[in-house]
């Protein structure tokens, strides 16, 4: 490692900062550390950069935040020069962008690929972290920065006989780099969240037969993706700073154009007109049609009813349409964005397997047994999601003060201060961790917000000769209570979803993200401006 031994403090440690993960967060964090003259190293499990966009290379993988917003803004030249080709970028284009960023800022030599961080423990005497990798290496660092992503720890359900399946089996979150040949084959997809909804229409075009195994139907709205208009791109770039600033003032940090009216004040004609406008415009702005769709069950129901009607219009077989129709709140389990998902079920080679009528019993060597009979399959795609927000952090054996593990500390749910700091775990930062806006915001600006905050904090420590920073237990308790209180002002926590951890058996039910990007930024800035209130510095 080129930076080894160049600690600014000369205290004999290997690095000032070890960063885990080379996705959007890890790359920018590395750039920040390098720019500040610190020695830093990124450890990355994969053999390339990209994080989420490296692993989720399944057919149809695409972002559902517009390209002009789902990109870095820390470097004006970068954002002016990069040309996005579509309104919503494909996985491949985002990966090319991140590779470009890596080389443009000279980051590659400071990334150790094919190396998984397995454990980290805080040394109370030296104030450093000892970090172990799965190849048996150990390095020391003052700061440990977990840039491990919100949706990176794959969730694979335990289904009897899965290992004995003789066909091809892949999780969407770990798609084989040379793809899977599905042409003319019998293909099964388990799961109908965002990943399943994106992959199914693509597989249906190639497969001989596609079987979609659905346990819970999901709400999805069309993306209406299209090539990005050159004039539109130019106009945004002409005022990019203002455009970004405007986005940051919105609830999710995305320019959805939140409707000013209440759904409860609108009559049937206005509801239909507004929702239809949003449906035609495409994307997640659908649930911003009225300002109160996440405030009350009644308001939310107006949007849910509209999509239910759409499903029955699109899907020709009424029985299949009914099986695809969720009778839940909309958007409280992450809203999906698709390219022809419901219409896929009008194809002759596509079958919906409704698991509410008969659960998956087990795999055989040649298929899946459902409700007593076998669905023969050549390929099975697990679109079964992630152990969101906490999974990637807890899968590393992290030990803080007194040898207390993060797993022990979070046994009843995650506790953080501002989403990135954890009492008892000094000098550790989690980028877009639980208790931050993260998955309820545009993740790239949220990442930049956290990285900038951590960068400023470390600079403050250097300036004032501090070696160790740690959130106080009181500040953490208050933050956890605040995150929960804000969440419970909305109807989000009412629904089962990965937002509350209910998709992973045994995971404590806690609403994980913080609702409200502008409020979060204000609070974080205030803490820094006031000299890091809620922290102990020594």
Q: Would you say 343 or 361 has its CB closer to ligand N01?
A: 361
Near ligand N01 by CB under 6 A: residue from 41, 375, 383, 471? 383
Question: Look-up: residue for tokens 């994969």?
Answer: 46
- Helix 443-464 vs helix 24-35: crossing angle, to nearest 10: 30
DSSP letter string, 155-202:
-----TTGGG--SEEEEGGG--TT----BT-EEEEE--SHHHHHHHHH
Asked whether position 192 contacts ligand N01 by CB under 6 A, the answer is yes
Site string for ligand N01, 478-517 (x = CB under 6 A): --------------------x----x--------------
Question: Using CB atoms within 10 A of its CB, is residue 301 exposed (0-12), middle (13-18) or buried (19+)?
Answer: middle
Q: Nearest distance from residue 263's CB to ligand N01, in Å?
A: 23
Q: Nearest distance from residue 78's CB to ligand N01, in Å?
A: 22
Q: Nearest distance from residue 347's CB to ligand N01, in Å?
A: 20
Site string for ligand N01, 275-314 (x = CB under 6 A): ----------------------------------------
- 386 vs 34, 87, 146, 172, CA distance in Å? 32, 26, 17, 10
Q: Nearest distance from residue 115's CB to ligand N01, in Å?
A: 25
Non-local (6+) Cβ contacts of 405 within 8 A are: 397, 398, 399
Asked whether position 432 contacts ligand N01 by CB under 6 A, the answer is no
Q: Would you say 472 or 502 has its CB closer to ligand N01?
A: 502
CA distance 14 to 307: 55
Cβ 17 vs Cβ 146: under 8 Å: no
Non-local (6+) Cβ contacts of 510 within 8 A are: 412, 413, 414, 434, 484, 500, 501
Q: Nearest distance from residue 21's CB to ligand N01, in Å?
A: 16
Choices 2-10, 16-24, 209-217, 276-284; region in contact with ligand N01 by CB under 6 A: 209-217
Q: Would you say 122 or 341 has its CB closer to ligand N01?
A: 341
Q: Nearest distance from residue 140's CB to ligand N01, in Å?
A: 34
Question: Look-up: residue for tokens 């406008």?
Answer: 277
Near ligand N01 by CB under 6 A: residue from 7, 198, 423, 438? 198
54: Cα separation from own chain's centroid:
13
Site string for ligand N01, 135-174 (x = CB under 6 A): ----------------x-----x-----------------
Cβ 70 vs Cβ 442: under 8 Å: yes
Near ligand N01 by CB under 6 A: residue from 59, 188, 191, 434? 191
Question: Look-up: residue for tokens 């009897």?
Answer: 160
Q: Nearest distance from residue 453's CB to ligand N01, in Å?
A: 23
Q: Would you say 30 or 392 has its CB closer to ligand N01?
A: 392
Total residues at interface with ligand N01 (CB under 6 A): 27
Quick one: DSSP state of residue 131?
E
Quick one: DSSP state of residue 140?
E
Tell which positions 336-375 bind ligand N01, by CB under 6 A.
Answer: 337, 355, 360
Question: Look-up: residue for tokens 């250097």?
Answer: 462
CA distance 216 to 194: 12
Choices 40-48, 140-148, 186-194, 249-257; region in contact with ligand N01 by CB under 6 A: 186-194
Long-range contacts of residues 316-323, Cβ cutoff 8 Å, at least 24 apart = 316/346, 317/345, 317/346, 320/345, 320/352, 323/214, 323/217, 323/352, 323/354
Q: Would you say 197 or 398 has its CB closer to ligand N01?
A: 197
Asked whether position 216 contacts ligand N01 by CB under 6 A, the answer is yes
Tell which positions 219-278 bind ligand N01, by CB under 6 A.
Answer: none
Near ligand N01 by CB under 6 A: residue from 26, 50, 193, 435? 193
Asked whether position 194 contacts ligand N01 by CB under 6 A, the answer is yes
Q: Would you say 173 or 424 has its CB closer to ligand N01?
A: 173
Asked whether position 442 contacts ligand N01 by CB under 6 A, the answer is no
Strands 15-20 and 138-146: parallel
Cβ 88 vs Cβ 204: under 8 Å: no
Choices 189-197, 251-259, 391-399, 506-514; region in contact with ligand N01 by CB under 6 A: 189-197
Cβ 16 vs Cβ 9: under 8 Å: yes
Choices 192-200, 296-304, 341-349, 417-425; region in contact with ligand N01 by CB under 6 A: 192-200
Asked whether position 524 contacts ligand N01 by CB under 6 A, the answer is no
224: Cα separation from own chain's centroid:
22
Near ligand N01 by CB under 6 A: residue from 39, 90, 115, 384? 384
Choices 37-45, 190-198, 397-405, 414-422; region in contact with ligand N01 by CB under 6 A: 190-198
Cβ 532 vs Cβ 525: under 8 Å: no
Asked whether position 332 contacts ligand N01 by CB under 6 A, the answer is no
Q: Nearest distance from residue 488's CB to ligand N01, in Å?
A: 21
Near ligand N01 by CB under 6 A: residue from 195, 220, 250, 344? 195
| Interior angle at CA 537, CA 534 and CA 538, nearest 5 | 155
In terms of residues, how long is the chain? Answer: 538
Strands 360-363 and 367-370: antiparallel
Asked whether position 131 contacts ligand N01 by CB under 6 A, the answer is no
CA distance 7 to 5: 6
CA distance 270 to 233: 32
Q: Nearest distance from residue 334's CB to ligand N01, in Å?
A: 3
Structure tokens that stand for 440 in this block: 């309820």
CA distance 211 to 271: 35
β partners of residue 338: 222
DSSP letter string, 485-497:
HHHHTSSGGGS-S
Q: Would you say 18 or 221 has its CB closer to ligand N01?
A: 221
Residues that bind ligand N01 (CB under 6 A): 62-64, 151, 157, 190-196, 198, 213, 215-216, 334, 337, 355, 360, 383-386, 439, 498, 503
């Amino acid at each position: 490692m080129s930076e080894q031994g160049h600690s600014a403090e000369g205290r004999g440690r290997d690095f000032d900062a070890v960063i885990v993960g080379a996705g959007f967060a890890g790359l920018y964090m590395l750039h920040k550390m390098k720019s500040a003259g610190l020695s830093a190293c990124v450890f990355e499990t994969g053999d390339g950069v990209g994080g989420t966009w490296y692993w989720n290379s399944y057919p149809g993988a695409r972002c559902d935040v517009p390209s002009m917003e789902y990109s870095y803004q820390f470097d004006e030249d970068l954002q002016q020069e990069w040309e996005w080709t579509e309104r919503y970028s494909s996985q491949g284009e985002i990966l090319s962008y991140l590779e470009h960023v890596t080389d443009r800022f000279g980051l590659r030599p400071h990334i150790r690929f094919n190396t998984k961080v397995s454990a980290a423990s805080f040394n109370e005497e030296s104030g450093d972290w000892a970090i172990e990798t799965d190849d048996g290496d150990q390095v020391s660092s003052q700061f440990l920065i977990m840039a491990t992503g919100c949706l990176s720890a794959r969730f694979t359900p335990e289904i009897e006989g899965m290992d004995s399946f003789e066909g091809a089996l892949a999780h969407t979150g770990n798609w084989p780099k040379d793809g899977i040949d599905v042409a003319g084959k019998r293909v099964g997809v388990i799961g109908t969240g965002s990943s399943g909804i994106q992959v199914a229409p693509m597989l249906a075009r190639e497969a001989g037969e596609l079987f979609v195994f659905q346990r819970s139907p999901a709400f999805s709205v069309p993306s209406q993706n299209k090539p990005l208009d050159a004039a539109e791109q130019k106009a945004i770039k002409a005022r990019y700073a203002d455009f970004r600033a405007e986005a940051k003032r919105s609830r999710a940090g995305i320019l959805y154009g939140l409707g000013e009216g209440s759904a409860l004040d609108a009559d049937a004609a206005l509801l239909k007109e507004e929702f239809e406008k949003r449906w035609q415009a495409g994307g997640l702005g659908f649930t911003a049609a009225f300002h109160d769709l996440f405030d009350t069950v009644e308001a939310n129901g107006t949007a849910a009813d509209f999509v239910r009607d759409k499903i029955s219009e699109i899907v020709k077989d009424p029985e299949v349409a009914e099986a695809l129709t969720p009778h839940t709140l909309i958007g409280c389990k992450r809203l999906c964005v698709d390219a022809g998902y419901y219409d896929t079920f009008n194809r002759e080679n596509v079958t919906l397997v409704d698991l509410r009528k008969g659960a998956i019993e087990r795999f055989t060597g040649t298929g899946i047994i459902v409700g007593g009979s076998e669905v023969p399959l050549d390929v099975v795609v697990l679109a079964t999601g992630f152990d969101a927000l906490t999974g990637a952090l807890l899968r590393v054996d992290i030990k803080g003060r007194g040898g207390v593990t993060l797993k022990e500390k979070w046994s009843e749910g995650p506790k953080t201060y501002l989403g990135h700091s954890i009492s008892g775990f000094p000098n550790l930062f989690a980028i877009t961790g639980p208790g931050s806006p993260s998955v309820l915001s545009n993740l790239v600006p949220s990442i930049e917000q956290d990285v900038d905050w951590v960068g400023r904090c470390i600079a403050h420590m250097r300036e004032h000769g501090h070696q160790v920073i740690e959130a106080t237990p009181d500040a953490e308790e208050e933050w956890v209570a605040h995150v929960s209180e804000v969440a419970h002002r909305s109807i989000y926590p009412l629904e089962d979803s990965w937002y509350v951890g209910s998709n992973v058996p045994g995971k404590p039910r806690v609403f994980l993200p913080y609702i409200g990007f502008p409020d979060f930024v204000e609070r974080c800035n205030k803490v820094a401006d006031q000299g890091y209130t809620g922290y102990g510095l020594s």
